[in-house]
Amino acid sequence: MRGRKSKILFLIFLCICCLLPPLLRADTTILMLGDSLTEGPGLKKSQAYPFLVEQKLRTQGFSSIKVINAGVIGSTSASALSRLKWYLRSNPDILLLALGANDGLRGLSTVQMKHNLAKTIELAVSKGIQVVLAGMKMPPNYGAEYTREFERVFDQLAKEYKVVFIPFLLEGVAGDPKLHLPDGLHPNERGHQIIAGLVYKTLVTLDNFSKNKVKGNKPR
């Protein structure tokens, strides 16, 4: 009798597991590959937007979400591919690619930046990782032609590889002193909260995100 009861309870448990949303049962790892804008210099890790996004997702029921803050101060798009290769050991399901700001600030080649980011996207796609590309913008003092070409890189990549696109990672933050540290370059705690809100809204719109079906994006 006891054995029969145990079997019934086990079957009930299996039925409940099958009814639960897959995301609540399986880990989903989001790799946020970026520079200092992602790392959050001058802030605690818990104040940077990757951590805030993870907490927001968990409070919304996505309890098994794991977000990796892979931001490195001073990094450019040149490091993107090698760094993604290193992080593949973490088996990321989603890649937020947020690099290029330092390329622009240093006036580096937009052609080379596009090549670097393209190779990174291609690697992610080949591994079945869904890509979210975060665009950046340069201040006007870098010249109209350069700023135009710089911004166009992100738009072109998003269209060519059909990846989810955030046109400007610092939307609502850039240019507002109240949302930056004293250096005027890096967002403060409040600034990161705004970035986190933008990234969160993008992530939850991913196809089949709630069902934990993460698929890579293939170029034409």
Q: Which of 199, 189, 125, 206 is nearest to 160 (CA)?
A: 125
- The ranges assigned to domains in the chain are 26-211
Question: What percent of the chain clears pLDDT 90, i.e. is strictly above it?
Answer: 75
Q: Which amino acid is at 188?
A: N
Q: Residue 62's pLDDT is what?
A: 84
**26-211: CATH topology:** Rossmann fold (3.40.50)
Quote the CA–CA distance of 78 and 86 in Å, as a whole number: 14
- Say if residue 17's pLDDT is above 70: no
Query: What's the predicted TM-score (pTM) here?
Result: 0.84
Residue with tokens 């088996």: 91
What pLDDT is attached to residue 24?
38
Q: Which residue has the higher pLDDT, 14 or 34?
A: 34
**Positions marked catalytic:** 36, 183, 186
Report whether 130 contacts 215 (CB < 8 A): yes
